A and B are shown apart, each in its own frame.
Chain A
Amino acid sequence: MIYFDNSATTMPDQSVLETFIKASTRFFANPSSLHYPGMEAERFLEKARGQIAALCRVPAREIIFTSGGTESNNLAIKGTAHFYKSRGRHIVTTAMEHPSVFEACRDLEKEGFDVTYVKPRANGVIETADIQQAITNETILVSVMHVNNEIGTVQPIEEIGRMLKTYPQTLFHVDAVQGFGKVPLDLNKSGIHLMSVSGHKLHGLKGTGFLYKQSGVQLAPLLSGGGQESGFRSGTEQTAGAAALAKAARLILETDIDSIQHITRRIYNGLTSRLNFVVHTPINQAAPHILNVSLPGAKGEVLVHALEKEGIIVSTTSACSSKQTKPSRTLQSMNVNSDLAASAIRISLSSHNTMQEAEQFIEALDRIIPALAKKRNERT
């Protein structure tokens, strides 16, 4: 089985699992408890927080553990909107964000906030100037994803961050769920106030994630209760999950990204030289692990299932919207025509993949595509 759907989710790393299991049994106590096992659990939790903070080169108090990328994104966006609404009620984001940003913004619109959805240029890249143009006196938040989950575009986060420094009333949130550990991003240089990361995209566990929140930035919490995570996120801390996340974050940052890029390039060359794929991913401005392509005339779903029969797992679009028959919002925002968008498939790699798998994938397509074309011709 060849698993090329690592943007949907990844297989947990063996050593991450070991950390998780060890911590689950040894540090099961409630970190808020005052007794010895409770304090041990708390120390362990804080160690995990410190490790993540060190990897991001920020103070430990700026890391908030959450239940995942969706919660991090919701907390950043709604938390900012609700806390700073007296400052203004305008948010700038892009038309190609993950649903957890997009839908949170849509919900804020119902509450009376104004949201501008900046469109990318045809190559899927958001221009800093377009963001700047959207900003008004009322803008309290700009939210731009680092790496697009469907096509892999890397957005000019540092440039946008530099531009935003001249707008002190505007906070900057970055959804780094797909980019973390794959494309370098310096929190200290990019003017980012809030950044979301998810564990299960890094060979960590589902149900784990964190939000980086710069000190001084305030948020109205989504969850009220025991006041854990400095009051920003109530609920008993998932100690073992936090430790697993710290481990996964360290491992992903140690990963040899270049070798993933080589494999992606090999696939790219195979798809474009012999096979007639249209590539939606702007290959020179994209993350090393995502390729989004269309084979004109072949429905994406048909290709996905044909590949699956060969033991190769890819996807049509993001998993979060893969049940919908609607064409990809990201491709639409890039003005890709709807037939071509309906043909799109996403190939997403991780350090667990090999060059040999890339070769097998191309060979499989060599077999599948003529067969699919034949079937189509027989029908017409």
Chain B
Amino acid sequence: MLMKNQQNQTYKKYVEARAKKSSLGINFLFAFLIGGLICVFAQGLLNLYTHIGLAEETAKAGVIITLIFITALLTGLGLFSKIAKRAGAGTFVPITGFANAIAAPAIDSKAEGWILGLGAKIFVIAGPVILYGTLASVVYGVIYYIVKLIGG
């Protein structure tokens, strides 16, 4: 048993060493370019929304809603995954990644019905982000509160 374990360890190391890795340089470049383009587009939207007279806070919410809408639409049309295959973190990190993570399972689980399908599975990918994001904000809030108390 011990020998088998050692053999497996050796094999695992060999496999990991020979496995072709994703090309970091190209991935970084595409993530930077496409992610950057999304940010430029968002900034453009913000300028547009404030230009037509929205208050800055409202305009910011409008930008986010627009990006979420476009992502959901592209996801539904089957185009988002094609872009994301190239863009990687470029589409994943902005709000677009989160929107896609909700739209994709919603479309996917439609066949299992509105309740047990779409309703239950819509947060299958985004769920952990929401849960631990909320939890982290609570922890952050407590720390902030204590620091404020001490710092006066």
Task: State yes or no: do A and B come from one complex.
Answer: no
